[in-house]
Structure 1
């Protein structure tokens, strides 16, 4: 019974967050309009100057565009969490007969749904302008699982920064890093075309194995086991770390 009640509370909280998102023009901008414009910008404005070997530039950049746009969307979650704290509504929820865990999980579930829609929208737009994936069913399933894991990781990072931010305006500032990291990776240009110092950073930062895994799965290319394991390990470690930090920050806030 407790598990069923917890699930009901999570559904209620995430439903509330979804309603607030639909009424927020910034959410529509970051989740729908910005990803479309980003895809078109890189494909038509920048793509002509890029050399990616035998792979077309549209095929090459799709994983990087997905991760960069998910980074843009992460700010929405952080701002929503911080706004709930500053308005006092989160404190009010803590006094109500709902599972406290459902409060943060509601934000995470809403972020997962919204960001997954964004990722699928990018894939649709990419397909319309020339993206031609060659993945089989297993490849698509694996790619979607990696995207899902990345979204969950980014969502808990967003929740944590929303918890510790001093204002809603500052809560989303961390997303600058989530937007910038795909640019200094294999997302938009081959790593071997970068200056040596950037090559070293791009090779070992957490975004690169995620992008390389997605690209290999979607294009049905050879995928090194170490690359896939690195992507999963990076996401899992960061997910667990920021989940723990978020729960601790929430307990600290709710006990005041």
Structure 2
């Protein structure tokens, strides 16, 4: 058994334990393996362990991986999520290659993704990124801006709005984490009252996964705990 397979089994077990403690349904939380900076072989090892959803932060690196697996391992039928910031000049690549985008935070990006989505592909599944902790260094819309952006996205035929995503401030206190995640979950509930298909709340990483699941996350983004430490030397 590979270390990656062991890590996935461990994380999956942790998720199941937290779901049970919180009284949530089994398999109500999906694991998104964050594979940025990791080689194709590591992703292949994870896929062989049953992992099908992968998240990428860098456009060209992600596109290269999508193309590699579509060409060399089409039988795996992997689902690719873009979870990094999107520049206007990179929207076409994202629209043409990814299945999901977690980081829509302005109308211009949503419109470009819609216009550049190939007609032969199903609608791009998208999330609105929310700056829930009001950090100047973080991307995302302010909570009060969610609904205007959602209205635009809902009018775009090549996009399907599925919910919200956030990267809250990094704090160690479980209660603080929980309160912040509950704020996002409440916004998700409001969004779901207005739009169909709202079923995804992408929040929680290795350090705050438990609080995120307790608050209602449906997708946790885990990287280092699966693949080990990242090498950013080629990203400078």
* Bucket of the pairwise TM-score, normalised by the shorter protein: under 0.3
Report the TM-score, using the length of structure 2 for normalisation: 0.24
Structure (1/2) with the larger helix percentage: 1
Rg larger in structure: 1
TM-score by length of structure 1 reads 0.23
**Relative contact order, higher structure (CA 8 A, sep 6+):** 1
